[in-house]
Amino acid sequence: MRIGIVCPYSFDVPGGVQYHVRDLAEVFLAQGHHVSVLAPADEDTVVPDYVISAGRAVPVRYNGSVARLNMGPVSAAKVARWLEAGQFDVLHLHEPVTPSVSLLALWAAEGPIVATFHTSNLRSRVMQASYPVLRPALEKITGRIAVSEDARRTVTTHIGGDAVVIPNGVFVDRFALAEVRPDWQGTPGRPTIAFLGRMHEPRKGLPVLAAALPQVLREIPGLRVLVAGPGDPDEVRAAMAPEAARACEFLGAVSDDDKARLLRSVDAYVAPNTGGESFGIILIEAMSAGAAVVASDLPAFLRVLDEGHAGFTFANEDPAALATTLLRVLGDADERSRVATIGRVRADLFDWSEVARDVMAVYETVTDGAAMVSGTAQPPPRWARLLRGRSKA
């Protein structure tokens, strides 16, 4: 199958959607399909050979974060040329309502179109205002996927119709089989916890963790906090209590391999995110690595953690609750190991071998449906009810 995938966010500063697009493309390439990915990227950004750059992106505040997007007539011309050259059997757009190349491709494309919705934002005034303008283009989508129930609710609330839920994927073995780094590994007297994320982005929750640390350190003075991700450590330290700052070790942005080693090495992974999360791929990565997960009780996180059976949760934006939970987790090795084992088993549900199979089923449904319209095939019934989307009553 000839598959075209469009990512609206720049590959200059990778994030969850970019990783999802990259991994999905590599799974299908390994299966023998032809795959081309179109995404924004600067000229000097190193991208895989299957990624075609749509040009330079500009930073735009979007969904509580800063996204690097690409829009305009020059980009539209690049999209048109890519579509013409690709002659794709199916076009897979990610976040098609985001003002970037996915939307440009939706306007320009014909034929079988699948869209994946990643965002969870039930109160988006931008989506409410833009829907009447985008409706004719959105009606061209023949298969709708949401990465979580929260993302699906965003679709039904703001866009209409429905979507089949297919979660984000993880290469579970990459984390389960990663090497442990002794310098990141904890001991009973000096346990280690990890935080991964953009330090300067409040919704990632580092300030919540920093506020919880003094209480934890009073009982576990040897605690080490390994902080990985972009940002200025000096600015972060300046906003912390002195004892919390001393406990933190800033690793900077880490490679995929080092992220896996970090999650394999620590006693617990802490996800103090405060909102704007539709899934929680990092939780699955930590579970795959065998780390105990401590996460805020966001609805998306609770679903990933099977309502708290596969990890430990605390009240969102409550440093005292986080401190109490961390003390429980770090103080009871047997309980920590028990819950981590449950998480490791649950992570298998999100392996790319499972996720890609379901995505391919969507592709086959919409392409067979297009063939049926031309009188050459019958579509399988498995996904037919949800893919086109039901109209709102």
In terms of domains, do 248 and 313 share one? yes
**Average pLDDT of the segment spanning 342-352:** 97
In terms of domains, do 84 and 177 share one? no
Residue 252 C-beta-side C-alpha neighbours within 13 Å? 1
Chain segment 63-107, per-residue pLDDT in tens: 556 666 777 788 899 999 999 999 999 999 999 988 889 999 999
Q: What is the span of the domain harbouring residue 339?
A: 172-349
More confident residue, 238 or 68: 238
Chain segment 16-53, per-residue pLDDT in tens: 899 999 999 999 999 999 999 999 998 888 999 999 99
What whole-number distance in Å separates Cα of residue 322 and Cα of residue 382?
43
In terms of domains, do 183 and 145 share one? no
For residue 177, being part of any structural domain is answered with yes
In terms of domains, do 121 and 192 share one? no
Q: What is the pLDDT of residue 70?
A: 73
Q: What is the pLDDT of residue 383?
A: 41
- Would the CA dihedral through 110, 116, 119, 123 be positive or negative? positive
In terms of domains, do 136 and 222 share one? no
For residue 53, being part of any structural domain is answered with yes
In terms of domains, do 122 and 187 share one? no
Contact between 144 and 387 (Cβ < 8 Å): yes
Q: Supply 130's token pair.
A: 């833009």
**Average pLDDT of the segment spanning 211-216:** 98
In terms of domains, do 8 and 137 share one? yes
Predicted structure pTM score: 0.82
Contact between 384 and 366 (Cβ < 8 Å): no
In terms of domains, do 81 and 190 share one? no
**Average pLDDT of the segment spanning 120-142:** 71
Contact between 358 and 166 (Cβ < 8 Å): yes
Contacts of 274 by beta carbon, 8 Å cutoff, 6+ apart:
202, 203, 204, 205, 208, 296, 316, 317
**Average pLDDT of the segment spanning 48-59:** 87
In terms of domains, do 29 and 118 share one? yes
- Average pLDDT over all residues of the chain: 89
382 — pLDDT class (breaks 50, 70, 90): very low
For residue 392, being part of any structural domain is answered with no
Number of domains forming the structure of the chain: 2
Chain segment 185-202, per-residue pLDDT in tens: 999 999 999 999 989 889
For residue 231, being part of any structural domain is answered with yes
Q: What is the pLDDT of residue 259?
A: 97
In terms of domains, do 12 and 132 share one? yes
In terms of domains, do 60 and 146 share one? yes
In terms of domains, do 190 and 144 share one? no
